[in-house]
Amino acid sequence: MKRRVAILISGRGSNMSALIEAARERDFPAEIVVVISNRSGALGLDKARASGVATLTIESKPFGKDRAGFEAVLQSALTQHKIDLVCLAGFMRLLSAEFVQRWYGKMLNIHPSLLPSFPGLDPQGQALRAGVKISGATVHFVIPETDAGPILMQGAVAVRDDDTPETLAARILKIEHRIYPTALRLVASDKVRLEGDLCKATDGADSDAVLISPAVT
């Protein structure tokens, strides 16, 4: 049985598209059942519809600081669609600890840095200011703390001297589109397990599958 996945977006949805594309493969262990946006104007909504995936908008703005109110509507949509796994893909609304705990081990996020380095805003600018020679992207299980949680998979890219936040972001985005589908495949096929705060390969699974290392070109 394929795992039923909801993707939560707020914007352009390029990671969403990569997940939808991967899930078209017949042997992919998950199906994208619905894309939910907290912004009606999110570009990703059109892309999802064009791909034949159901969409739903739950505007978060009218809820203001009423997180519980927003999340009650969100949770009821997830229940209604019988969702097993949630993928955050550029979802810009903070979720309450209660909601996150409820989905612990079943909710994934992607962040454009090699966590735990550079959480939060402008991770590519942070990487350039720190002068690191390698950066990349991380898929992790979501915990109440922002951009933290058991790391499922990472992909690295070389940082160039002439990089700007934009050029680095573009290179990292390409690797995001590779690791997010792979990470979802690992979770949906039970190839990973949680051991305390760590994510490990299950017996017999290939533990090297969780790393893409950089080609310096």
Beta-sheet strand order (sheet of 3-9): 54-57, 30-37, 3-9, 85-88, 107-111, 134-141, 151-158, 211-212
Segment contacting ligand GRF (CB under 6 A): 67-75, 106-114, 128-136, 208-216? 106-114
Segment contacting ligand GRF (CB under 6 A): 7-15, 60-68, 71-79, 181-189? 7-15
Name the residue nearer to ligand GRF (CB basis): 70 or 180.
180
List Cβ neighbours of 67 (8 Å cut-off, separation of 6 or more). Answer: 94, 95, 96, 99
Name the residue nearer to ligand GRF (CB basis): 13 or 150.
13
Segment contacting ligand GRF (CB under 6 A): 32-40, 107-115, 149-157, 183-191? 107-115
90 contacts ligand GRF (rule: CB under 6 A): yes
Segment contacting ligand GRF (CB under 6 A): 12-20, 31-39, 66-74, 98-106? 12-20
Answer for which of 20, 22, 34, 110 binds ligand GRF (CB under 6 A) is 110
Residues 35-74: x/- map of binding to ligand GRF (CB under 6 A)? ----------------------------------------
Residues 144-183: x/- map of binding to ligand GRF (CB under 6 A)? -----------------------------x--x-------
- Identify whether 111 is a catalytic site residue: yes
Answer for which of 7, 13, 156, 199 binds ligand GRF (CB under 6 A) is 13
Answer for which of 14, 37, 60, 154 binds ligand GRF (CB under 6 A) is 14
Quote the Cα angle for 89-15-206, to 5°: 95
Contact residues for ligand GRF, defined by CB under 6 A: 11-16, 89-90, 110-112, 173, 176
* Enzyme catalytic residues: 111
